[in-house]
Amino acid sequence: MKHFFKIILGFLLIVSCGGGGGDDPVTPPVVTPPVTPPVPPVTTYSLSVSAGTGGSVSSSGGTYNSGESVTITATADSGYVFTSWSDGSTNTSLTVTMDSDQTITASFELIVILEPGTPVLLSPVDDEPCQDGTSINDSQSEVNFQWQETENTENYILTVTNLVDNSELSFNSDVNNKLVVLSKSEPYEWSVTAQGETGSTPTQSESWKFYLAGDAIVNYAPFPPELISPSSGANILALDNIVTLSWDGSDVDNDLSYYNLYFDDVDASTLVSGIDASTTSFDVSVSPNTLYYWRVTATDENGNSSDSGTYTFRVQ
């Protein structure tokens, strides 16, 4: 029994010594979380974009980060042209770097179109024989057409019409005269059109008539009568079934004697009346829904004559 207690006591001593001896316990390290650096503040700037009268811009602006690039475009309205941005740039597209608050304005300008002046004819003179032509051969002469120079004009168009066959010739000219070769002993009508810059309206002179002198011609035929009313191809209403035909005529020799009026519903071959040279109108009877033909001849005191050509009109 004494031996058993000794064993127990020894065991207790061993346990007691083991619990208080040996190495100290290990303390775990303290982990420090990483420090996040502070985010610097973002700098922003404002951009204001506007357009003056006569155009528009692609953006009105906004708020942008420092260093950001912004592209804006100016567009002109019809009849206007873009001139510049308020910073002096003249390109329609502008790129702005945002390094400060900025205000940009697009400027536009009204397009001013200069209209050409109206030509004033000088030579050949109206209602006179042209004696100034340079004879080229027995049948042709070269005629110098002249008119006053007009402002705001880029070029002229000279139109010459042979009044016998109504053939028309057109010539371009950069100056206020033009040499043209024509047949002798023929009546002509001429006019000039002035053309200006793009967008302008051409202007036209009066129309003048002349006879181109021929060899050994003493007396000229009257100018072919100009039919005025009804115009060719017109559709008209006839009051009381009466239509008034009117025309104009002239003669360079001032010896116009009379007119002959031809009128019918077939081919204007029926002579209706001989009419004194001082009268340039005549009333004719018509029927509804009928197509009529008419023409006038002019004869001078020497028996020279000319023909207007045939016009038609329809009575409704």
Q: Tell me which DSSP letter residue 18 carries.
A: H
> pLDDT at position 315, please?
96
CA 47 – CA 71 distance, rounded (Å) = 11
Single pTM value for the model:
0.64
pLDDT value of position 11: 54
**Residue 201, Cβ neighbours under 10 Å: how many?**
9
Nearest to 127 by CA among 247, 226, 215, 250: 250
Residue 170: half-sphere exposure toward Cβ, Cα within 13 Å: 5
For residue 162, what pLDDT is reported? 95
Same fold, 121-212 and 226-315: yes
Residue 2 backbone dihedrals phi, psi, to 5 degrees:
-60, -35
CA distance 95 to 68: 10
Distance from chain centroid for Cα 91 = 25
Q: Is 101 helix (H, G, I), strand (E, B) or coil?
A: coil
pLDDT value for 40: 77
CA distances from 92 to 71, 105, 108 (A): 10, 12, 11
pLDDT at 16: 53
Secondary structure of residue 66 in the 3-state scheme: coil
Is the preceding peptide bond at 230 cis, omega within 30 degrees of 0? yes
- pLDDT tens track for 234-273: 999 999 999 999 999 999 989 999 999 999 999 999 999 9
Superfamily of structural domain 226-315: Immunoglobulins (2.60.40.10)
Residue 254 DSSP label: S
Please give the CATH superfamily to which domain 121-212 belongs: Immunoglobulins (2.60.40.10)
pLDDT of 35 reads: 79
> Which residue shows structure tokens 């057409």?
145
- CA dist 262 and 195 (Å) reads 40
Domain ranges of the chain: 44-110, 121-212, 226-315
Q: Using 50 as the pLDDT threshold, list the residues of the chain that sit under it.
A: 19, 21
**CA distances for 42 relative to 46, 62, 101, 247, angstroms:** 13, 16, 15, 88
Radius of gyration of the CA atoms of the chain, in A? 51
Query: Is the sign of the CA dihedral 129, 135, 137, 140 positive or negative?
Result: negative
Cα(7)–Cα(251) distance, rounded to whole angstroms? 170
Tokens of 215: 């060899």
CA separation for the pair 267, 261 (Å, rounded): 13
What are the tens digits of pLDDT across the range 134-158?
Answer: 989 989 999 999 999 999 999 999 9
